[in-house]
Structure formats: structure tokens, C-alpha cells
Chains A and B, each alone.
Chain A
Amino acid sequence: MDMRLKHWKPTGLALAAIVTTAAVAFAVPSAMAQRDPAYAAARADGQIGEQPDGYLGFASSPTPAIRALVQDLNIKRKAAYTERAQATGSTVEQFAFTSGCNLIAQTKPGEKYQAPDGSWKTRDGSPPVRDSRCP
């Protein structure tokens, strides 16, 4: 009996340590959910930008790596739009378009966005050119 207790104590401590580490590991990424550095760089560079339809597009011809990155993000965006569209009783296109209005409005100076006429523009201090249906 005595031997057993001696063995259990260190095990319990180790378990507690693992649980604590796991909790910290989970808490940190969710608190700082940030853009992939490659994505952030391509955005800041103006290689990619926001389209009125709620997806990312290429303002200049992309490298294969950037193309893959954008495709991956757009798939994830579509999944998110689809889920929210179902929850709000709208279509994926309607929800994506509304998000696009916001995403273009949120672009920082220097970043690219696509105007309703299809041309790529660089965001400056003035409000972006958006679709007339945008709030």
C-alpha cells in the first residue's frame, strides 16, 4: 500500500504539469489568432487584396506559394460564409458579399482592394470605392 502511494504521487504531479501545459498551449493561439506571416506579407505587399465578393484575389500574378495560400484561405472563408448563411437564412453569395463590404472597408492604407468595376486600387486615407449596396 505504502509503495503504491509513493509511485502515484509523482505520476499525479506529472499529469498536472501536462494538463497545465496543454491549457496554456490551447489558450495562447486562440487569444492571438493571427494571420499567417506569409499571408500578412503578401497583403502588405499589395500582391493580394480583397474582392467585393468576399474573397481574396490577386492584384498581380502570384507565385505558386501565394496562389496556394490564397486558395486555402478562400476555401476556409467559403466554409465560414456557408455556415453563417445557413444560420442567418441567407445565401452564401449574400453573406460573402456583405463580408466583402466590411473587408474592403477594413483594408489598411497601402493594401489592395478591387473596385466594383473590377480594377485593383490601393487603399489610401480616403474611403474605398465600394458597391452602392454596401452599408
Chain B
Amino acid sequence: MKMTNEQARRQAIGAKCLAIVTGAAALAGCVQIETPDKPIEINLNINIKQEIVYRLDGDAKKLIEQNSEIF
């Protein structure tokens, strides 16, 4: 099947459109990151996490209740 001039022209326009759309999408996908004006704080006291405290809370209450003479 032989491609006519008209068909070839349409295909070229289609390819250009695709390139423009893809390029626009790529630009829109750019994420802008703002640098924080405050220094990032790292809490070094990481070996006691809140979730652990919550998990142990019931056991701690029981221990205090059962050993009231030392608490």
C-alpha cells in the first residue's frame, strides 16, 4: 500500500502534536522543592518511640499497681 502525500503530512502533524503534549506533561510533572528556612532537627532520643510507650502502658500500670510499696 503506497502512502499518499496527504497521509504522510497528517502523520507528521500527528507526531509533532504527540511530541508537544508529551513535552508539556513532562514539564507539568516537575516538582518544585523549596528549601526549608529552618535547620532540620533530628531527635536523637529515638530508642523510646511513642508506639512502644503505648504498647507497654498496660504492663506498666499493672506493675505499679502490684508493687505499690516501691512506687
List A residues at the B interface (Cβ < 8 Å).
33-36, 73, 76-77, 80-81, 84, 87-88, 90-91, 93-95, 97-99, 101-103, 106, 132-135
Contact = CB atoms under 8 A, between A and B. Distances in A.
A33 B59 CA distance: 19
A98 B47 contact: no
A104 B69 CA distance: 16
| Residue of B47, B59, B61, B71 ringed by the most chain A CB atoms within 10 A | B71
Contacts of B63: 80-81, 84, 99
A93 B70 contact: no
Contacts of B59: 84, 87-88, 95, 98
Given A36-B69, A84-B63, A95 B56 contact: yes
Contacts, number: 68
A94 B53 contact: yes
B61 to A, nearest CB: 6
B64 interface: yes
Contacts of A76: 70
B5 interface: no
A102 B61 contact: yes
Contacts of B64: 99, 102-103, 106
Given A84-B59, A135-B57, A33 B68 contact: yes
Contacts of B54: 135
A34 B67 CA distance: 9
B65 to A, nearest CB: 10
Contacts of A73: 70
Contact of A94 (B47, B68, B69, B71): B47
B50 interface: yes
B52 interface: yes
